[in-house]
Chain A
Amino acid sequence: MHVKQISVFLENKSGRLAEVTKVLASNNIDISALSIADTTDFGILRLIVNDPEKAEKALKESEFTVSCTSVIAIAIEDKPGGLSKALNILEEKAIGIEYMYAFVGKTSDEALVIIRVEDPCKAVDVLMNNGIKVLSSDKVYKL
């Protein structure tokens, strides 16, 4: 139930983000979610794409520093309290969240959220046992 996330190191200088998207475009890779964590000097771009292996290879070939991490994707009700419910479950089980971000698109009346935790296996079990819908990687890559 893990989803592969591609992270790219970016220096804070103009044109770097455009360069990443250019590499992905020329390899026909579709981005379904992204987030950027930025500091004064650098940024870390995190991507969910339809073909993580291909994206990692293409970016490395273009001299980017890339890492591949397992994250989880959950679908929650798109209404007040939807996210809160899922996060409370993790909180109760003392599963810390490193970071999270929302999907760009959505399916029907569900909101999709990417969550990065230390131990994704445990988090998946906890969430599923508590009735939170965790998306399979196949499903996520096709979004």
Chain B
Amino acid sequence: MQYWNPTYECMSREEMTRVQAERLINTVKRVFHNVPFYREKMQKQGVEPGDIKTLDDLKKLPFTYKQDLRDTYPYGLFATPLSEIVRIHASSGTTGRQTVVGYTRRDIDTWAEVMARTLSCAGGNMNSFIQVAYGYGLFTGGLGVHYGAERIGASVIPISGGNTKRQLQIMKDFGTTLLACTPSYALFMAEEMEEMGIKKGDLKLKAGVFGAEPWSDNMRNEIEERLGILAIDIYGLSEIIGPGVASECPCKCGLHIPEDHFIPEIIDPVTEEVLPPGSKGEIVFTTVTKEGLPLIRYRTRDISTLNYDKCECGRTAVRMSKVSGRTDDMLIIRGVNVFPSQIESVLLEIGETAPHYLLIVDRADNLDSLEVWVEMTQSIFSDEVRRVEEVEKKIRKEIEGTLGISAKVKLVEPKTIERSEGKAKRVIDKRKL
């Protein structure tokens, strides 16, 4: 079994608690003094940095919500002068407003460290050829994996997403040993591979780190079988750092969290109370080493459990279970976070359409598809096909512009989309995950 940083990955609970408490105390001091938002929030709650003496005091601190990042857009929660920020990433927001995250030089270093642990979990080392097929850009996936791969001294193939035939040709010719992409894209590659006549025996691929979207054990089995590899589930979110927040080891029984950087808690999303180990609830993270954007008790809305038992791999780092759902209505489509309310705001902006819509998410040939049903109205209807199609195209473009993924728009007859008294049913997810 190989570790990247056994000092921390296999640290005793006692020692880890000490490290976490020390780092937490410093983080709280820093945000209190440098981020007016946190100072006000803490004062409102009657907490001062001096009240945080042990790890147990974490529960006294206020939560941070995604909405807080939006309300302070773009840089309101940054804790260092902007001159110290060396990188900015962003993820899509619900109303066109993005969630902006900033990294100092040391944050990038931390990112490389945690991703190095992730890639080591999957068997990566200096002899590996790592094909990074996550998108590079504002999305954290590509560059996050890239840094970790460089840190462990692997040969990085920064191919980014798309162009599957080229991906496979390079995988074969360059001798890729480790693949990083979304699980659905890995399966899509497996299919394309068969069409191109490439056999798994032609590849040197040994493992893959797959994340950014939910996937099932069935999908894992299929990927492992068809590509002949070890498929590792990884977890991350840009607000915390990007990929690298948690990763499975070859035991595949939970995702190890680099706890010396990110302290997890499981809470009841309604009462907001901290739940005992093993309970199912919303996973909340506090970053204790980040400089640019330290977040206190960040509400991920992801549902998971925590297991503090020592893993068979020898790591003591706490394991979170594979995310089993969301506490909100966020969907992950082709690795992109989609909130149904984004569609609503697009329709309201266009103005002539009814704000009634239905999202139909499906997965065919291992690729997610999004179909948006919009009701026809008198004002956008025309006797000419061309004009109706123009409306369809306009809605599609607006949706694509806001969500960042392609969608099919289907105009339906008025009042055919279900209205309900309470929360309208806006989503039909046909994917069997």
Contact = CB atoms under 8 A, between A and B. Distances in A.
Interface string B373-400: 0001110011111101100000000000
A65 B412 contact: no
B383 A69 contact: yes
Contacts of B389: 39
A39 B376 CA distance: 15
A50 interface: no
Given A65-B381, A116-B383, A9 B410 contact: no
Interface stretch (B117-125, B138-146, B209-217, B413-421): B413-421
Given A10-B413, A63-B414, A46 B383 contact: yes
Interface size class for chain B?
10 to 19
B383 A5 contact: yes
A44 interface: yes
Interface size class for chain A?
20 to 34
A65 B384 contact: no
B385 A65 contact: no
Contacts of A65: 376-378, 381, 413-414
A103 interface: no
A69 B384 CA distance: 10
Interface string A1-19: 0000101011100001000
B413 A11 contact: yes
A46 B385 CA distance: 11
Contact of A99 (B376, B384, B410): B384
A63 B378 contact: no
A141 interface: no
Interface centre among B381, B410, B415, B416 (most CB of A within 10 A): B381
B411 interface: yes
Interface string A40-67: 0110101000000000000000011111
Given A65-B378, A67-B378, A39 B413 contact: no
Contacts of B415: 63
B384 A9 contact: no
A42 B413 CA distance: 9
Interface centre among A42, A46, A98 (most CB of B within 10 A): A42
Contacts of A44: 383-385, 388
B381 to A, nearest CB: 5
Contacts of B388: 9, 42, 44
Query: What DSSP secondary structure best describes chain A's contact surface?
Result: strand
Interface string A52-88: 0000000000011111010000000000000000000
A37 interface: yes
B384 A98 contact: yes
Nearest to A46: B383
A67 B416 CA distance: 19
Contacts of A116: 383-384
A46 B376 CA distance: 16
Nearest to B415: A63
A9 B385 contact: no
A16 B413 contact: yes
Nearest to A39: B385
Contacts of B413: 9-11, 16, 63-65
A86 B413 CA distance: 37
Contacts of B382: 7, 67
Contacts of A37: 385
A9 B377 CA distance: 9
A9 B381 contact: yes
B383 A11 contact: no
Nearest to B381: A65
A116 B385 CA distance: 13
A129 B145 CA distance: 75
A65 B381 CA distance: 7
Nearest to B378: A65
A42 B412 CA distance: 8
A67 B385 contact: no
Contacts of B414: 63-65
A95 to B, nearest CB: 16
Interface string B142-155: 00000000000000
Contacts of A16: 413
Given A16-B413, A63-B415, A65-B413, A7 B383 contact: yes
21 contacts: A7-B382, A7-B383, A9-B411, A10-B413, A37-B385, A39-B385, A41-B411, A42-B388, A44-B384, A46-B383, A63-B413, A63-B414, A64-B413, A64-B414, A65-B377, A65-B414, A67-B378, A67-B383, A69-B383, A98-B384, A116-B384
Interface of B: 376-378, 381-386, 388-389, 410-416
Given A11-B416, A65-B376, 15 more contacts: A9-B381, A9-B388, A42-B388, A42-B411, A44-B383, A44-B385, A46-B383, A65-B378, A65-B381, A65-B414, A66-B378, A67-B381, A98-B384, A98-B386, A116-B384
